Amino acid sequence: NAGVTQTPKFQVLKTGQSMTLQCAQDMNHNSMYWYRQDPGMGLRLIYYSASEGTTDKGEVPNGYNVSRLNKREFSLRLESAAPSQTSVYFCASSLGAWTEAFFGQGTRLTVV
Amino acid sequence: QKEVEQDPGPLSVPEGAIVSLNCTYSNSAFQYFMWYRQYSRKGPELLMYTYSSGNKEDGRFTAQVDKSSKYISLFIRDSQPSDSATYLCAMKGGAQKLVFGQGTRLTINP
């Protein structure tokens, strides 16, 4: 049982480049989330999708876009990467909105 | 003031010790309380989940909620080196967003 799968696991980007982080869950969950984790800042919510077809901004949405492709998949796009976006990104899913969340293994992104 | 405050540590204790991890919060609407464990370079995993006040025990782990003081705790008995991780508290009220603490980095020394 894979749970929440994120790709890639590691990525180095140059400033100004774009990329998409992929996330898929196989638990038939309705809600999905993107967080970033930085030292001393804890987990901060970037965007979330309470249900298929809906997306909403979280605490730190600037510089990001998301797509809820279907019930299983929720992608995060950086259109023009900046060094401030260097972080570890976690995708999570839950059966209902804001119920117990299950996390992926994370994507370590460095922007140089 | 942050809605959830958690001492980031680091906290280092000898093997076999009782560990107490704590969070305080300011939002009186919070009713659901969770503890996540995060090993180095891994995603957080749900460890304990409690609703409202009281205690919940699972093996060596006990989660305690005191809503009157807006204070939650996680106790680890007979701590093991494998318990070394970062522990994050999380909480919410009703349909509100889940709010995470900063995380406490714990090391159990053999």
pLDDT tens digit string along A80-108?
Answer: 999 999 999 999 999 988 888 999 999 99
**Euclidean distance between CA atoms A68 and A55, whole angstroms:** 7
Q: Kindly give the confidence (pLDDT) of every residue in chain A, 112 residues in length, as a single tens digit, with 9 standing for 90 and above.
A: 679 999 999 999 999 999 999 999 999 999 999 999 998 788 999 999 999 999 999 999 999 999 999 999 999 999 999 999 999 999 999 998 888 899 999 999 999 9
Residue A50's identity, in one-letter code, is: A
Residue A96's identity, in one-letter code, is: G
The pLDDT assigned to B52 comes to 83
How many angstroms away from the CA of B83 is the closest CA of chain A? Answer: 18
Predicted confidence band of residue B70 (pLDDT cuts 50, 70, 90): very high
- Residue B42: list chain A partners with CB under 8 A: 105-106
**A103–B45 C-beta distance less than 8 A:** yes
- Residue B34: list chain A partners with CB under 8 A: 100
- Token reading at B50: 């409690």
- Residue B101: list chain A partners with CB under 8 A: 42
**A103–B92 C-beta distance less than 8 A:** no
